[in-house]
Amino acid sequence: MIKVLVIDDSPLVRQLLSHMLNDAPDINVIATAEDPYEARTLIKQHNPDVLTLDIEMPKMDGIAFLRNLMKLRPMPVIMVSTLTHKGAEVTLEALALGAIDFISKPKADLTNTLLEYKDELIAKIRVANKSHVKATTKAPQIKPAQAHLSLKTDKVIAIGASTGGTEAIQRVITQLPANTPPIVIAQHIPAAFSLSFAKRLNSHAAINVIEAQGGETLEVGTAYLAPGNAHLIVEQRGGKLYTKLLETDPVNRHKPSVDVLFNSVAECIGQRAIGILLTGMGKDGAAGLLNLKKMGGYNLIQDQASSVVWGMPGAAAELNAQHENLHLDKISGRLIQLLNTAKSSVKA
């Protein structure tokens, strides 16, 4: 049985989250707390397996509490955040501090709207209970890479991730030099959060990172992040590569879907592509990575030891879709090696 402590200053939210979670046969909400001070006492008393943590609370906000928790008693935390620009910024900070994942709390009609997140919340609690949590004292300060690629190349890099992916992508992207070939990224994230995530990546990286709008020409030194409400694909027109957004149905329950991105890269770019599948819940991206391999692309996946959740890369490994299985801290360095030794049709 997974023991959960719900921390939220709203009595209604505490009640709703408790009822939702207690409906799962393997989850038990052992206590609720209205503020971090009460939560601290209950953690010592009940030793929960997972916390749900509201960001905005009286006495001490969720970020301050999370920072102290991860320093003194690291444990799996699911953040409960609002779908706003401010909520996005704070949630991304929470993920940097070690929170496993988050669910979005609506600003109105809580009773009906929050229930829509029931299955998602239960799934994330189960994943959090099995996740790898490490002690941290503050969000890591990452300096952009100073390296420079020695060869021109016509490669394109495609990256996919889900749970734990915001930090994993940042750790890869920020170690790449300014003349890195074009990068396309699909991260499972709400529409209200994707622009903030792109800006956060851009502020740390030597390359430019933007939220794709569709129709951009793929350029060296730029990464294109799929918006949180559309699929991102790559298409070729007149000898050039462009981004394109699709408003079609979710794939593997996700929009954007990593499979959709990887399949487009496999068909459009093939052997000139490098696929990277990072930490995440589920199987999205595994089949697309295999397709990319069949079309001659070269694939890296994050290993189990460094993944918050080894669902997506694990599913790819079961299909033997990867060429290499690497620790997160080794991926950017290996990518630079591959790019520096890649044969290219680009003339110097």
Report CA 273 to chain centroid distance, whole Å. Answer: 21
Residue span(s) of the chain under CATH 3.40.50.2300 come to 2-129
Spell out the per-residue pLDDT of the chain, length 348, in tens: 999 999 999 999 999 999 999 999 999 999 999 999 999 999 999 999 999 999 888 778 899 999 999 999 999 999 988 766 778 899 999 999 999 999 887 766 777 777 778 898 999 999 999 987 876 644 444 454 556 676 677 899 999 999 999 999 999 999 999 999 999 999 999 998 999 999 999 999 999 999 999 999 999 999 999 999 999 999 999 989 999 999 999 999 999 999 999 999 999 999 999 999 999 999 999 999 999 999 999 999 999 999 999 999 999 999 999 999 999 999 999 999 999 887 554 433
Q: How far is Cα 149 from Cα 179, in angstroms, rounded to an integer? A: 6
pLDDT of 34 reads 94
Q: Distance between CA atoms of 65 and 94, rounded to whole angstroms?
A: 10
Catalytic residues: 162, 188, 284
For the chain, the first-to-last Cα distance in angstroms comes to 61
Q: Which amino acid is at 129?
A: N
With beta carbons less than 8 A apart as the criterion, state whether 162 and 279 touch: yes
Other Cβ atoms closer than 10 A to 117: 18
User: According to CATH, where is 3.40.50.180 located in the chain?
Assistant: 156-340
Select from 3.30.300.20, 3.40.50.2300, 3.40.47.10, 3.30.565.10 the CATH code of 2-129.
3.40.50.2300
- 191, 210 in Cβ contact below 8 A? no
Please state, in angstroms and as integers, the Cα–Cα distance from residue 76 to each residue in 86, 128, 150, following that order: 23, 6, 42
The reported pLDDT for the residue numbered 227 is 98
**Homologous superfamily of domain range 156-340:** Methylesterase CheB, C-terminal domain (3.40.50.180)
pLDDT at 343: 57
